[in-house]
Structure 1
Amino acid sequence: MVTRRRFLQGMAMTALGAPLARLPALGAPRAAAGGAGTAAAAGVSRHVDVFVGTGGHGHTFPGATLPFGMVQLSPDTYDAEWDACSGYHQDDGSIMGFSHTHLSGTGASDMLDVLVMPGTGEVQLQPGDREYAGTNHHSRYDAVRPSADEPRRSGPPKRGYRSRYADERARPGYYRVRLTDVEVLAELTATLRAGLHRYTFGRPGAGHLLVDLAHGYHDDPAVPCKVSGAQLKLVGRDTLVGGRVVHQWANGRHIYFAMKVSRPFARATLYSEDAPLPDGSAEAKGAHLKAALHFDDAQRAPLLVKVGLSAVDIDGALRNLEAEVPGWDFDGAQRAAAQAWEAELGRIRIDTPSEETRRVFYSALYHTLLAPTLFSDVDGRYRGMDLAVHALPPGRHNYSTYSLWDTYRALHPLFTLYQAGRVPDLVDGLVRMMAESPDGPPVWPLQGRETGCMIGYHSVAVIAEAQAKGFAGIDYARAWPLLRKRAMDDDYRGLPYYRKLGYIPSDREGEAVSKTLEYAYDDWALASLADAAGAHGDAEALRERSRNYRNVFDPKLGFVRPRAADGQWIEPFDPQAMGHGARWRDFTESNAWQATFLNQHDVYAYARLFGGMEAFERKLDALFATPAQLPPDAPPDIAGLVGQYAHGNEPGHHVAYLYAYTGAHHKTQARVRMLLETMYRAAPDGLAGNEDCGQMSAWYVLGALGLYAVDPVSANYVFGSPLLDRAELDLGGGRKLVVEAHGNGPGRPYIQSVRWNGQPWTKSWIGHAELAGGGTLAFTMGATPNKAFGAAPADRPPAFGRPAAEQLA
């Protein structure tokens, strides 16, 4: 099995109204900046800092893209190792070039397709050393040190085609930087399927563009990106086209491009295995291809470059390019990108006296809009999970980049509120994938390939949530038998043990405890789809099987723990450990403390295993209070620690809300407010862990609104502690949801009372149907807890499809 652990081996201000976000030089304050092509950002977009998460372990990228866009045109500072998962990290002091595809916040990686780098002087074919920065670097850091596990080089680091850089600035849909070694100002913007570059050469004489088709993310620095079937072809004196098949994380994915330049190049050289092909060669094929396009008087006018992408073929890339960028209006494209971002970000308008909160909120909202990514051409063609080319029905779109182990928890529930019009395409695409894929239901699909990353098969949760919330335009009938086959028949990652024993034995399968718990939730989700399909017998069997969590819970110790195939608990047991031995881990990016609370759907029955609700509440208290002493083999994903709680990783994201089920909702309020205020900052290292394709940010957005979907399939939201004084969400169709928090402020996290459309609301939760219909949810906040709020059994959240009062009677 492939999890993010495999990829960890071998190895955390934009001024209000400023036109651009800027990363400062070392020790320098943030500053507003202007310059070529930098019309001031308008509306709420001006509060976004695209550099949030580009430091620490956030793994985000700062470049130009559109909401859910196919193209992510961004600088690459490195192309290997964990903290280069997005191709960029603020600790690196030089830029390799600008590639057109990037992942946002992932813990495993791929992409960085079609690298373009402007240069002057002799053409360099190697990127040079990561450590190259020099003492005259005028961006954020004066020097870059090698990582502790990377051997130090003898002699000075080599530059290659890298360049040091300065004056790096960006906002949604636009990026610029000055490449100081080659004296080039680089500007980037994007459409949905194309990237636009504008290069202003500051040095007289010739210049060139290097196109590196061998460049791409590779986990091991010593092993280059594996490519097959690559091709480059010159068409006239202004066009370069090509494509390749990449064998990295998404093994065997296809990518094609078409690149045009705004004025003819004087000459061009194609390279294979870094050897120039004979003069006049117009086409190259192989595995390691590059091209250099030469311009004799590069300084005389800015050089514009436009690049269209397609996963189908070169003709598709050309059609995408001509449809979206027919001319050379860089500033017009940049304005269109800004308008697209403002339209989506402006769906949520907030009031808060804190400018830091405003920046964090809109930066988080921005990151929720970067994935999934568009994966179909303007003519409706797309490459399916079977690698065949398919055609979409008119008006539909295909998407890729689903980090489902993460995003089913908060990102997709958030979409059902403020991106409802996009939900049918996003979810029906998952159904289409499972019908086309030889691997079955999607787990972590990327550009027409299944990466197999992480555990469970949580596409079922996203589909079941959409069905429970009444979304049309999704082929649920097609999904049900395909998902049933996975649950009932497939020999897949421990499922035969799960079906036979009721749990997965840790002496037979890695990460067995976590797999058991995640399959239990998938059973719960699938039961909902079974009922909708009329398969009520299957639904009942799946609901009962969703209680398999009981089989890895030890009531004597009060923890889930590894169990052997013979039914015996495996010794020794340490709740802070990752596993029972050196062979493999028992938990997925967590330990027993964190995994013990991975129950989202059957909380009241689960609490009885601890001895009742009071004992369960004490166990929650202990989670947050027990000092963290993680073992050396703990993955860095376990971050953002509060006691044993880890906010930097997704299995714990619902845990603070579990107090609502115990009747101590005031503890949820206090914990959630603390996490909102301490785990997020408007800074490059402002995230507690990987952004994970929007999940980390979606937790913040929902939490700031006072909501969280503990069990997304239930179609309910548990209240937290609203951070914003007021928020207005455009739900589409003329409907608006207004959330107000009266008497809010620092030190006032506690809900005193709630009103829904002017009427008292005593429950600590609310249904999606109420919110999606529009209305006003008004909280009254205070400095001391109202312990009566949400305490009555009738006011606690339902679980397992039944009211709390019924289960607590």
Structure 2
Amino acid sequence: MKKKYVLIICAILIVSCGKKTTVVNNNEKSSISFVDPFIGTGGHGHTYPGATVPFGMLQVNPVNGVSAWDWCSGYHYSDSVAVGFSHLSLSGTGIGDLADIIFMPVNKEVDLTTNPQSRDSISYKSSYSHQNEKASPGYYQVFLEDHDINVELTTSKRTANHKYTFKKGDKNAVVIDLGFAINWDTPLETSLKVEDEYTVSGTRFSKGWANNQKVFFVAKFSKPIISYKLYADGLLTDRKTAKSTKTSTQLFFETDAKNELQVKVALSSVSIENAKGNLDSSEFNFENVKIAAENSWEKALSSFNVETKTDSLKTIFYTALYHTQLAPVTFSDKNGQFRLENDSIATAENYTAYSTLSLWDTFRAEHPLLTLIAPDKASDIINSMLAYYDTKKILPVWTLYGNETNTMTGYHSIPVIVDAYKKGIRGFDAEKAYEAMKNTMMQDERGLNHYKKYGYIPYNLIDESVTISLEYAFDDWCVAEMAKMLGKEDDYQFFFNRSKAYQHLFDKKSGFMRGKSEDGKSWNEPFDPKHSNHREQTDYTEGNAWQHSWFVPHAVDNLIENHGGNEVFTNRLEQLFTESSEITGDNVSADITGLIGQYAHGNEPSHHIAYMFNHAEQPWRTQFWARHIMDTQYNTTPNGLSGNEDCGQMSAWYVLSSMGLYPMNPASGEYEIGTPIFEKASMNLPNGKTFTIEAENVSDKNIYIQSATFNGKDFNKTAISHQDILKGGTLHFKMGAEPNKQWGLSKNMQK
């Protein structure tokens, strides 16, 4: 299997290397025409190619039926077998769940009495070829070779649309399997009901990464059901309903001259009645739904307009922008209701509730990007987090289908709230948000008891102590910032002082953040900065000391002082990128990917690091490494992402960095200046203003900023504020092949 996988990936790379860069007149093509949903479906990208709309409730996706890390979304480009089409998928995560409510069209009667132990024994599976598979924003198509059926999928915000075209004269049938599960997911109770000759409904309650996932669905067919077989745990029942751990059905339809069957499917976390309320009431018209989905994507992608002679750069950019708007996903029903993990039903009043909050990843660039292009969604997401807070009086860490997974470190709801408030977004209760932030950081779970007692987390008391301490320090700084904005001076001082926790862990001799014992003096020995041990008996989360020692985004200037000044700091920072890429240890984290030296772009803790040179009087190094990362870590193949997409973060890094901007401190209200990759890039802001970045003479060689103006006035700063961007205008750079080492230095900056 490994050999097969390697051969496939090699073939992909060979094809990609053989491709010529095409030059086109970009004005002739729509934004969605540049999007390739297959980017990231290979390698460790973990994205899916299925149909959805921006931040939609449903993700109608082909499922390969393999339980393995690289199939976290249900699909991997190396595969060529499908077991069906699900309605919920994760975009680019490192943990597998969902793939709920499987539909599979077939052209024969199949055996649903067995309990398949692997994909090989699934009776309704089919092979397919990438040559007969297409994906574009809002649309997916594949030809099932074993069943001679062409499958097309599209969706609105809350209703999925399937279109099956059968071979002339073939039996028309559809399998619905609620017992099917992959990866962490296990069904606990499912039910199916044939309501009438056009309608099937059901429930699927499961336990997995989301411990209490309850999905209710309804499906309407364009042709009457002429017969059906309904199974409960593999036993045929003669009733119209079945309820058991695993239920399934095969539905049979008339074979007619059109050879076509359409299906509309809607889900709810609350009830079948709510699913029916979510179901679009319009007549079956697959093409109209597809066009509406495409139009919604064209509108969503119109927030940016980039100009370049290199077509592949637009493909990477617009696909990245597409990926940034797949998650979070709509979770509340049309009537505003949604289920919380304690089974209470909340109602989103005057906002849309969202779930799939991959906050350890997305607080870094995804959420700052949303404050620019979708501030209404930013406030809705915060209102959603506050609703989840009500269940346990702790802000969410990683929310999946309304459930707290407690996956990853820190409480990064906090910087998302602070960033939005600092940028003027007011569509939420700021006092309640502050109460939630403060209460979260003052409770005792997830190592906070040790953090409060010692000022850091001793390595002998909890794993990943360094990463957790550094992230709590940043979260504390964010709480302090919110306290200051709300006039809470005592709280500001308290949390600001706690935000210095990183100072306890910095070893000036080695230049690394290291695990420290309870005595406050002795380090964790022996020490190897390249050593990785995945999630156990380690001081670092999914990485090593090289990758995690730079997470002090709120106090970079003080970190530089601790190192001994700009020269020592920049030498060590440069060494991060030029050191050998060897990772030591017997249980190396699979998340350490996209290595440039010891810098690991395939995992989020590295994402801000290249921009730290700006604070040490060497912005030209930020320009070099930011461009190098863009050039080497993204491409137009299925292997086009160097690590997990993680619900938009990997792509948000590219969207902003390719503009020449990045929120190194994602709660500062500022964006560091990097290096623009496009001749011209315009941001069409929700307030009607346009912010444009021009890069005169930019090319793959001319990557260094020579000089800059903002609205015609000299601009010699290495950061720009969110508020200045919102005012609109033009930031114009002159680019060159050699660095201008005087541009952007503090002595030359305008005050």
Whether TM-score is above 0.5 comes out as yes
Pair 1:119–1:27, CA change in 2 (3 A): farther
Partner Cα separation in structure 1 for residue 160 and residue 380 of structure 2: 24
> Hey, what does 1:154 align to over in structure 2?
none
Does 2:552 align with 1:552? no
Does 2:365 align with 1:405? no
Pair 1:403–1:110, CA change in 2 (3 A): same
> Hey, what does 1:139 align to over in structure 2?
none
Out of 205, 221, 244, the position equivalent to 2:204 is 244
Out of 331, 345, 348, the position equivalent to 1:375 is 331
> Hey, what does 1:766 align to over in structure 2?
720
CA contact (8 A) 1:647 1:653 kept: yes
- 1:373-772 pair list within 5 angstroms: 373-394=329-350, 396-434=351-389, 436-438=390-392, 440-488=394-442, 490-567=443-520, 568-578=522-532, 584-631=537-584, 632-772=586-726
What is the CA-CA distance between 1:227 and the residue it aligns to?
2.1
Out of 287, 308, 315, the position equivalent to 2:245 is 287
User: For residue 693 of structure 1, what is the amino acid of its counterpart?
Assistant: C
Pair 1:732–1:42, CA change in 2 (3 A): same
What is the CA-CA distance between 1:777 and the residue it aligns to?
1.1
Partner Cα separation in structure 1 for residue 302 and residue 731 of structure 2: 20
Pair 1:582–1:571, CA change in 2 (3 A): farther
Partner Cα separation in structure 1 for residue 450 and residue 745 of structure 2: 40
CA deviation string 1:433-464 (max 9, x = no partner): 21x22261110011111011100000000001
Does 2:230 align with 1:275? no
Does 2:42 align with 1:55? yes
Gaps in structure 1 of 5+ consecutive residues: 1-10, 13-22, 32-40, 132-156, 220-224, 797-802, 804-809
What is the CA-CA distance between 1:44 and the residue it aligns to?
0.9
CA contact (8 A) 1:730 1:736 kept: yes
> In structure 2, the residue corresponding to 1:571 is in which secondary structure?
coil
> Hey, what does 2:33 align to over in structure 1?
46
Pair 1:298–1:633, CA change in 2 (3 A): farther
> Hey, what does 1:95 align to over in structure 2?
82
> In structure 2, the residue corresponding to 1:437 is in which secondary structure?
helix
Partner Cα separation in structure 2 for residue 700 and residue 523 of structure 1: 28
> In structure 2, the residue corresponding to 1:55 is in which secondary structure?
coil
Partner Cα separation in structure 2 for residue 361 and residue 256 of structure 1: 36
CA deviation string 1:683-716 (max 9, x = no partner): 1011010000000000000001000001121101
Aligned residues: 730
Partner Cα separation in structure 1 for residue 111 and residue 306 of structure 2: 49
User: For residue 151 of structure 2, what is the amino acid of its counterpart?
Assistant: A
User: For residue 202 of structure 2, what is the amino acid of its counterpart?
Assistant: G
Partner Cα separation in structure 2 for residue 24 and residue 699 of structure 1: 24
> Hey, what does 2:732 align to over in structure 1?
778
Partner Cα separation in structure 1 for residue 612 and residue 436 of structure 2: 32
Runs of 4 or more consecutive aligned structure 1 residues displaced over 3 Å after TM superposition: 23-31, 126-131, 793-796
CA contact (8 A) 2:670 2:722 kept: yes
User: For residue 539 of structure 2, what is the amino acid of its counterpart?
Assistant: D
> In structure 2, the residue corresponding to 1:72 is in which secondary structure?
coil
> In structure 2, the residue corresponding to 1:600 is in which secondary structure?
coil
What is the CA-CA distance between 1:244 and the residue it aligns to?
2.0
Pair 1:359–1:129, CA change in 2 (3 A): farther
User: For residue 384 of structure 2, what is the amino acid of its counterpart?
Assistant: G
CA contact (8 A) 1:92 1:130 kept: no
What is the CA-CA distance between 1:258 and the residue it aligns to?
0.4
> In structure 2, the residue corresponding to 1:586 is in which secondary structure?
coil
Partner Cα separation in structure 2 for residue 105 and residue 363 of structure 1: 14
Deviates more, 1:436-445 or 1:546-555: 436-445
Pair 1:777–1:301, CA change in 2 (3 A): same
> Hey, what does 2:103 align to over in structure 1?
116
What TM-score do the two structures reach when normalised by structure 2? 0.94
Out of 235, 260, 269, the position equivalent to 2:220 is 260
What is the CA-CA distance between 1:385 and the residue it aligns to?
4.3
CA deviation string 1:714-752 (max 9, x = no partner): 101100000011111110132111111111111010001
Pair 1:481–1:439, CA change in 2 (3 A): closer
> In structure 2, the residue corresponding to 1:169 is in which secondary structure?
strand
Partner Cα separation in structure 1 for residue 486 and residue 15 of structure 2: 61
CA deviation string 1:120-167 (max 9, x = no partner): 222133696877xxxxxxxxxxxxxxxxxxxxxxxxx54621101130
CA deviation string 1:407-435 (max 9, x = no partner): 0000111111122232221222222221x
Does 2:167 align with 1:202? yes
> In structure 1, the residue corresponding to 2:60 is in which secondary structure?
strand
Partner Cα separation in structure 2 for residue 129 and residue 725 of structure 1: 54
What is the CA-CA distance between 1:674 and the residue it aligns to?
0.8
- 1:39-188 pair list within 5 angstroms: 43-125=30-112, 157-158=120-121, 160-166=123-129, 167-188=132-153
User: For residue 333 of structure 2, what is the amino acid of its counterpart?
Assistant: D
Pair 1:100–1:25, CA change in 2 (3 A): farther
User: For residue 695 of structure 1, what is the amino acid of its counterpart?
Assistant: Q
Partner Cα separation in structure 2 for residue 707 and residue 516 of structure 1: 28
> Hey, what does 1:232 align to over in structure 2?
192
> In structure 2, the residue corresponding to 1:629 is in which secondary structure?
coil
CA deviation string 1:329-376 (max 9, x = no partner): 110000100100101111211101111101000110100010000011
CA RMSD after TM alignment: 2.2
Pair 1:726–1:532, CA change in 2 (3 A): same
CA deviation string 1:528-587 (max 9, x = no partner): 1122333211111111111100111111211111112233212111111125x9962210
CA contact (8 A) 1:69 1:373 kept: yes
Percent identity between matched residues is: 39
CA contact (8 A) 1:352 1:725 kept: yes
Pair 1:475–1:439, CA change in 2 (3 A): closer
CA contact (8 A) 2:376 2:427 kept: no
Pair 1:314–1:283, CA change in 2 (3 A): same
> In structure 2, the residue corresponding to 1:672 is in which secondary structure?
helix
CA contact (8 A) 1:63 1:188 kept: yes
Pair 1:205–1:594, CA change in 2 (3 A): closer
CA contact (8 A) 2:59 2:88 kept: yes
CA contact (8 A) 1:62 1:74 kept: yes
Partner Cα separation in structure 1 for residue 444 and residue 188 of structure 2: 31
CA deviation string 1:73-100 (max 9, x = no partner): 0100124221110000011120010000
Partner Cα separation in structure 2 for residue 378 and residue 437 of structure 1: 22
What is the CA-CA distance between 1:630 and the residue it aligns to?
0.6
What is the CA-CA distance between 1:24 and the residue it aligns to?
9.2
Partner Cα separation in structure 1 for residue 372 and residue 254 of structure 2: 54
Pair 1:431–1:582, CA change in 2 (3 A): closer
CA deviation string 1:581-639 (max 9, x = no partner): 99622100110011111111101111111111211111101111110211242211111
> Hey, what does 2:24 align to over in structure 1?
none
Pair 1:292–1:30, CA change in 2 (3 A): farther
What is the CA-CA distance between 1:302 and the residue it aligns to?
0.5
